[in-house]
């Protein structure tokens, strides 16, 4: 069986990555959602567990072994070093887990890894092609405020930490515009191009 192409799907906060990922799934494409898998690994991967406990103490897991998300959230809230530490523990395991997941997916032309931080981390170099989903800042802002019932300021704060839309667009092989454009035809067009590669 041929190895499938590995496609990165990224975009800034509220750009519509999850929505686009769902459409690719509908087209039969396996999609690896990095955030979701990272959360699972924090629960199930013994090395992640050990390293988190070494870094932050037993308090990050409950007596029954569940990840204590609220404790961890308290620890990383406004603490860039702690967040960096968590990422340095979790991200390498996500990379390994994705490689393993990829090796289990033969018989398809391509698979997708969705992650908000492909460009921020340099991970983009590992992919055969990159798709970026983008929308204007104000649209992304209002969509996230509505989705998460949070303040504009908190979204702006998260946006300020992400690399610019223009940077992402320039470094991408495909761009999906998600303002008022029709999204599904753009996805089908990219899907067809990827099938041809
Ligand atoms: P995050 O990085 O925060 O996880 P995301 O890039 O995965 O965000 P989504 O969750 O897919 O973004 O989209 C953000 C919100 O905007 C969701 O509530 C989604 O339903 C909505 N949304 C996305 N695209 C559109 C669209 N074209 N029209 C209307 N609503 C949309």
Nearest residue by C-alpha to atom 21 in ligand 1? 143
Q: How far is CA 72 from the centre of its chain?
A: 20
Q: What is the pLDDT of residues 57-100, one digit of tens each?
A: 999 999 888 999 999 999 998 898 999 999 999 999 999 999 99
For ligand 1, whether the C-beta of 147 sits within 6 Å is: yes
Distance from residue 176's CA to the centre of ligand 1 (Å): 13
**Stretch 164-189: mean pLDDT:** 96
48 and 1 part of one domain: no
For ligand 1, whether the C-beta of 162 sits within 6 Å is: no
154 and 93 part of one domain: no
98 and 115 part of one domain: no
pLDDT value for 105: 94
User: Of 104, 125, 157, which residue is a domain's last?
Assistant: 104
59 and 113 part of one domain: no
pLDDT value for 96: 96
In this structure, what are the phi and psi dihedrals at residue 7, rounded to the nearest 5 degrees? -110, 130
187 and 161 part of one domain: yes
- Do the beta carbons of residue 21 and residue 9 sit within 8 Å? yes
8 and 24 part of one domain: yes
pLDDT value for 120: 86
For ligand 1, whether the C-beta of 18 sits within 6 Å is: yes
Question: DSSP secondary structure string, 167-178?
Answer: HHHHT-SEEEE-
pLDDT value for 63: 87
Cα separation of 197 and 185, whole Å?
19
Q: Please give the structure tokens belonging to residue 87.
A: 């990422």
Q: What is the largest CA-CA distance in the chain?
A: 52
For ligand 1, whether the C-beta of 158 sits within 6 Å is: no
96 and 154 part of one domain: no
130 and 145 part of one domain: yes
pTM of the model: 0.94
Query: Smallest Cα–Cα separation from 87: which of 130, 109, 120?
Result: 120
| Long-range contacts from 80-84, C-beta under 8 angstroms, 24+ separation | 82/56
**1-5, 31-35, 98-102: the lowest-pLDDT one:** 1-5
Distance from residue 142's CA to the centre of ligand 1 (Å): 10
| Residues facing 110 on adjacent strands | 5
pLDDT value for 1: 59
The fraction of the chain above a pLDDT of 70, given in percent, is: 99
Q: Which atom of ligand 1 is nearest to the CA of 116?
A: 2
- Do the beta carbons of residue 67 and residue 148 sit within 8 Å? no
Alpha helices by DSSP H, the chain: 17-26, 34-44, 46-56, 69-76, 80-103, 137-148, 152-160, 165-170, 183-196
């Amino acid at each position: 069986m041929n190895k499938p192409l590995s496609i990165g799907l990224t975009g800034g906060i509220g750009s519509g990555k999850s929505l686009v990922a769902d459409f690719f799934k509908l087209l039969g494409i396996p999609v690896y959602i990095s955030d979701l898998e990272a959360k699972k690994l924090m629960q199930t991967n013994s090395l992640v567990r050990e390293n988190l406990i070494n870094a932050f103490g037993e308090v990050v897991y409950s007596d029954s072994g569940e990840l204590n998300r609220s404790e961890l959230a308290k620890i990383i809230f406004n603490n860039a070093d702690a967040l960096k530490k968590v990422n340095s523990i979790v991200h390498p395991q996500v990379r390994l887990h994705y490689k393993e997941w990829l090796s289990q997916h033969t018989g398809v032309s391509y698979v997708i890894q969705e992650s908000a931080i492909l460009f921020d981390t340099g991970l983009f170099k590992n992919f055969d092609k990159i798709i970026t989903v983008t929308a204007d800042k104000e649209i992304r802002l209002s969509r996230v405020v509505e989705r998460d019932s949070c303040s504009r300021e908190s979204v702006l704060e998260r946006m300020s930490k992400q690399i610019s839309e223009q940077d992402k667009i320039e470094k991408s092989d495909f761009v999906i515009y998600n303002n008022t454009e029709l999204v599904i035809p753009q996805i089908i067009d990219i899907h067809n191009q990827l099938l041809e590669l």
